[in-house]
Amino acid sequence: MRTYVEISRKILKFLENKTPPITYHPPPITYNLQPIMTKRLFDVISSSMVLLLLLPFFLIIAILIKLDSSGPVFFSHIRIGRDFKPFKLFKFRTMIANAHKKGLSITTGNDPRITKVGVVLRKTKLDEFPQLINVLKGDMSIVGPRPEVSKYVEMFRDEYREILKVKPGITDYATIEFRDEESILKKYHDPEDGYIKEVLPGKIELYKKYLRDKGFFTDMKLVFLTFWKIMKT
């Protein structure tokens, strides 16, 4: 019996010396990138398809713009994107050349800088379609808060800290709600004052609503509602 106990002690001592201490290694923190990857995939596929399908139509628009007034086909302007990174946004030109040097960065319905073709493009929102190039480049998404110029972002910087955690988009709740923004601004003696006091705060609340609701089905709903509004024009 004594020999058995001694042998058992020796085995335990051997195991204690040979067995490494057990340590716990917590798994690395991982983030679910699937929604982001799905949204990006949707952006790339849909923007590529629309650009290819509507290319002949865009060429017609380009010709009409050149015939209507002198200047480039496209208008580009610096906007503030995700994480406050500036990028160059593209639109079909709807105003006279160098219009941004001859007035405010916002427009009203009776703005004399708007061209004849520009009136139609703005009413149907066709001037926004070149932003599909921004989507392909990764500056924007199909659906997301509308990109704003630096001047107004700085005025509401605290709110934009949350808003600019996502990419800006071509359409969202605010795009649909303020589709006739120019008519709202017409009632103000100073359109910029109206934009800062009424329009932009309203947009910001709708941007926050999108952040709360964001998801694939929300994006599909907003795309459908946007086309529905355009078709009813």
pLDDT per position as a tens digit, 45-78? 999 999 999 999 999 999 999 999 999 999 999 9
The pair of structure tokens assigned to 42 is: 């949707």
- Residue 92 contacts residue 130 (beta carbons within 8 Å): yes
The verdict on residue 143 lying in a domain is yes
Residue 29 lies in a domain: no
Residue range 26-55: average pLDDT? 78
Q: Which range of residues forms the domain containing residue 104?
A: 46-231
Mention every residue, 6+ apart, whose C-beta is less than 8 A from residue 51. 58, 132, 133, 136
In a domain? residue 4: no
- Residue 30 in any domain: the answer is no
Prediction pTM value: 0.80
Q: Per the domain annotation, does 68 fall within a domain?
A: yes
What confidence category does residue 24 fall into, taking pLDDT thresholds of 50, 70 and 90?
Answer: very low
Residue 93: which of 124, 61, 50, 53 has the closest Cα?
61
- Please check whether residue 170 is in contact with residue 131, taking contact to mean a CB–CB distance below 8 angstroms: yes
Reduce the DSSP state of residue 21 to 3 states and report it. Answer: coil
**Residue 17 belongs to a domain:** no
- pLDDT 10s digits, 158-205: 999 999 999 999 999 999 999 888 888 888 888 899 999 999 999 999
For 147-182, letters b (16+ CB in 10 Å) and e give: bbbeebbeebeebbeebbebbbbbbbbbbeebbebb
Q: Are strands 86-92 and 74-80 parallel, antiparallel or unpaired?
A: antiparallel
Number of domains in the chain: 1
Q: Once rounded to an integer, what is the mean pLDDT over residues 209-214?
A: 94
Tell whether 32 is covered by a domain: no
Q: How many CA atoms lie within 13 A of 230 on its CB side?
A: 17
Question: Does 22 map to a domain?
Answer: no
